Amino acid sequence: MRTVAVKIALCTVFSAALAAAVQAAAPETAGPSATPPITPITAPKDRAYGGEIQLKVDASDTGHRIVRVHETLSGVGPDTVLLYPKWLPGTHAPEGTLDRIAGIRITANGAPVAWKRDPVDVFAFRLNLKAGTHAIDIDFDYLSPTSPKVGALEMSRDLMLIEWNELVFYPAGYFTRQIPAEVQLQLPADWQFGSALETASTDRAQTHFKRTTLETLIDSPLYAGRYAAKLDLDPGAAVPVRMDLFADRPEFLVMKPEYLEAYRNLVRQAYKLYGSHHYNHYDFLYSLSDQIQQNGLEHHQSSEDGTDPESFTKWDKEAFARDLLPHEFTHSWNGKFRRPADLWTPNYSVPMQDSLLWVYEGQTEYWGQVLAARSGLRTRQQALDQFAITAAHYEVQKGRQWRPLQDTTNDEIINPRRPQSWLDWQRFEDYYSESALIWLDADTWIREHSKGARSLDDFARAFFGINDGSFNVVTYTFDDIVKALNAVEPNDWSAFLRQRLDAIGKPVPLEGFHRGGYKLVYTDKPSDYQATTEDQRKRIDLLNSIGIEIDGKDSGKDGTLSQVIWDSPAFKAKLTEGAQILAINGIAYDADVLKDAIRAAHGKPAPIELIVKIGDRYLVANLDYHDGLRYPHLERDSAEPARLDEILAARP
């Protein structure tokens, strides 16, 4: 005890001495000083670029999945800084593939040019160019992922997708629309391709594309493959809309006439909705493959669409994925032609702000669902079932208690779609489907208050349909949205939207269902649509009962939990994502055994006993849950007109 007292006394003496010393030396600070700022990179300006980009791309080495690029950049000067695209349109985030570049070699008139990466912006390369140098050559390899653990696959031996942003360096200091670009592409022999780019000439596997701007080039990816088909979705139209199909095997390309008709209906129904188009031609670049990623990415004159290889051969089972093309097509109007003002950027190094993604993605999600039904890509019932599933997932989502929907618009920047341990507690990208429920709410509100005379269709036509035929992007702000809604049907739209976007702890927005003449109910049987979707996604959805989603039999991870809902019965039984259920009440795991056990425990006091494997540990988990299986459905409520049916019906 004494020792301690002495220590304290010493300490006090020392502290007093130190304080005096610090006071005496007050002008000097003890810590490190800040590193001096480095020379800033020239900000982009809206001025003509006095040179051009010439790209020669060799994409024929599909075996190694390596794309070899030779770029000639003219118009350079002593201060030229090269940029590699970082902030990518459509991803709304800094997801540029800088980590896949190797073998960079820069020369001027054949002599090597030294380069140095900017230490702050590692996407920028500073050059040491001699006076009088007007053009440089840049050679490099783009190392496309060789396996899914490296990244989403882009190339197989039978098909590939080419994103030009991966294959180009461009000069800092200019708007990308001011930089001319020309491309030559070498593909494997006998492959076909599709792109919104216009072809100047093709000689066997070598294609020259017409000169364009860097902005349009990067917005015009290319799909190519051994097995391909080109379908006309708007026969006889002056402005063609094409489906460029690429598949792992030729038999997957065969589409029944009625399916083709549904895609043609999509074009008709979109034109009835928007009353305009903003392209000279449009290409759906559509891959049917499990050898490359199943992509969904919007562009102004094209879209990247990827689904299961058997999407056409197993049409009845694939309805869940058939809002993809309606969604991406809608983006030509909402997102590409009209774009949130804070999301539009002059080049790919200026950060994007994602505050209006609840319009850009949210209303697009809504029209994607609606147009899928109007075109016949989904039946009315399938569209209703999808709305029910969406709302039901939000009904158990606990993250709504702390995190406003508005804040989720930052998610693509926070997390570029890596898996999460507690998805529903964190929330993720809810600006897609929760916003779709809000737009349904707005649509039914307008229909009710205008006594059926007006709807969100009028907003879409007035807002996205302006300047028919024009490509020039028109940006929008929150106030523009409010003003346009007021022009359709007066309301305090600012409060209507802000309350739904900013409030926490609020129930799921179901007003659109109520006003639409439906109510959300639960039964112990999934809809056909939900059952088929689970089957196809190889997932078992028990989110609304015990609070889990399980990898299904064909997933190769049978019984492994892919999601556990925060505070759910499964959470309380200490289950986590990644845990594997081995047995239920002493019987070996099978999804049907688990469902039977949940049914049997309905209204009974005894818990469901699970044996679970987590890592190399086994444990017994008791599920204290007695409300049976619960699956969502929309049920007609005759207290209101069936406005939702009207919304989903094809426009004459």
Q: What residues make contact with Zn ion under the rule CB under 5 A?
A: 361
Cα–Cα dist 584/446, whole Å: 50
Shortest approach of Zn ion to residue 340 CB, angstroms? Answer: 13
Q: Would you say 175 or 333 has its CB closer to Zn ion?
A: 333
Cα–Cα dist 70/641, whole Å: 62
Residue 353 identity (one-letter amino acid): Q
Phi, psi of 133, rounded to the nearest 5 degrees: -80, 125
Cα–Cα dist 179/630, whole Å: 56
Beta strands, E only, 398-531: 474-476, 518-523
Cα–Cα dist 87/92, whole Å: 7
Residue in 41, 54, 67, 58 with CA at minimum distance from that of residue 169: 54
DSSP string, 49-103: -SS-EEEEEEEEETTTTEEEEEEEEES--TT-EEE---SBTTTTB----GGGEEE
Q: Would you say 365 or 551 has its CB closer to Zn ion?
A: 365
Shortest approach of Zn ion to residue 121 CB, angstroms? Answer: 28
Q: Would you say 44 or 221 has its CB closer to Zn ion?
A: 221
Shortest approach of Zn ion to residue 327 CB, angstroms? Answer: 6
Q: Would you say 326 or 516 has its CB closer to Zn ion?
A: 326
Shortest approach of Zn ion to residue 406 CB, angstroms? Answer: 18
Please give the helix or strand (H or E) that residue 498 lies within, else none: helix 493-502
Q: Would you say 361 or 424 has its CB closer to Zn ion?
A: 361
Q: Would you say 169 or 282 has its CB closer to Zn ion?
A: 282
Q: Would you say 220 or 562 has its CB closer to Zn ion?
A: 220
Give the CA angle between residues 553, 554, 556 to the nearest 5°.
Answer: 85
Under 8 Å between Cβ of 241 and 234: yes
Cα–Cα dist 117/126, whole Å: 6
Q: Which residue is nearest to Zn ion (CB)?
A: 361
Q: Would you say 342 or 524 has its CB closer to Zn ion?
A: 342
- Report helix, strand or coil for 299: coil
Q: Would you say 283 or 361 has its CB closer to Zn ion?
A: 361
Shortest approach of Zn ion to residue 358 CB, angstroms? Answer: 12
DSSP assignment letter at 308 = -
Residue 549 identity (one-letter amino acid): E
Shortest approach of Zn ion to residue 242 CB, angstroms? Answer: 21
Q: Would you say 473 or 531 has its CB closer to Zn ion?
A: 473
Shortest approach of Zn ion to residue 438 CB, angstroms? Answer: 16
Give the CA angle between residues 609, 613, 616 to the nearest 5°.
Answer: 145
The β-bridge partners of 162 are: 222
433-449 vs 362-375: helix crossing angle, rounded to 10:
70
Shortest approach of Zn ion to residue 427 CB, angstroms? Answer: 18
Q: Would you say 154 or 365 has its CB closer to Zn ion?
A: 365
Residue in 63, 80, 194, 202 with CA at minimum distance from that of residue 135: 80
Shortest approach of Zn ion to residue 283 CB, angstroms? Answer: 17
Q: Would you say 295 or 382 has its CB closer to Zn ion?
A: 295
Shortest approach of Zn ion to residue 217 CB, angstroms? Answer: 21
Shortest approach of Zn ion to residue 556 CB, angstroms? Answer: 29
Under 8 Å between Cβ of 279 and 332: yes
Token couple for 215: 């902005």
The β-bridge partners of 610 are: 584, 621
Shortest approach of Zn ion to residue 361 CB, angstroms? Answer: 5
Cα–Cα dist 405/361, whole Å: 13
132: left (phi over 0), alpha (psi -120 to 50) or beta: left
- Report helix, strand or coil for 542: strand
